[in-house]
């Protein structure tokens, strides 16, 4: 497995919708393994393929706590088919927007149809942190960042800060 470099704000690829995965094969499973390795190394609890520069509809998640056994799963071509009526607010962060956190309101529960790492159709019904994490990562696949769920003023400040940092590093594709 290989740890991949993370794509950081303001890279415009983060705003591009990802394309559906056409075939689940060994290459895709290797990419999923690399994504998990990258996510654990960061460390994070979720990672969308676009965050390592791969514009495909795949994400990985593991919301197990540090003292628990890891329980990763791979989600390919996810489709939200239902959300609960209740909402929850979590302080979210993002590996592509390091060291910035904000409270985001999302549906408290979600049902998602997807393919697993073997290409089998699955349905996930999630609530709590898992529901938030899955919605956050699916947003990435649609070119949406968690800062799009906060006030325009705060969002503009974050984008300005990360644009300035990218220019200083010389790493942005603006």
Q: So which residues are the catalytic ones?
A: 137
Give the separation between CA 133 and CA 137, rounded to whole angstroms.
Answer: 6
Identify the burial level of 170 via C-beta atoms within 10 angstroms of its C-beta, where 0-12 means exposed, 13-18 middle and 19 or more buried: exposed
User: 138: how many CB neighbours lie within 10 A of its CB?
Assistant: 22
Token pair for residue 45?
């609890």
């Amino acid at each position: 497995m290989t740890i991949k470099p993370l794509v950081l704000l303001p890279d415009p690829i983060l705003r591009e919708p990802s394309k559906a995965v056409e075939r689940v094969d060994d290459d895709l499973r290797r990419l999923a393994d690399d994504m998990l390795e990258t996510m654990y190394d960061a460390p994070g609890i979720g990672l969308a393929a676009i965050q390592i520069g791969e514009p495909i509809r795949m994400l990985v998640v593991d919301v197990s706590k540090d003292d628990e056994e890891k329980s990763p799963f791979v989600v390919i071509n996810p489709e939200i088919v239902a959300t609960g009526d209740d909402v929850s607010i979590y302080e979210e962060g993002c590996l592509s927007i390091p060291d910035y956190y904000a409270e985001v309101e999302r549906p408290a529960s979600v049902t998602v149809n997807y393919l697993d790492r073997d290409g089998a159709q699955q349905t996930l019904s999630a609530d709590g942190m898992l529901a938030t994490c899955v919605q956050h990562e699916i947003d990435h696949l649609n070119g949406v960042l968690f800062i799009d769920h906060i006030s325009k003023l705060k969002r503009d400040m974050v984008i300005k800060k990360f644009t300035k940092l990218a220019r200083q590093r010389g790493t942005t594709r603006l």
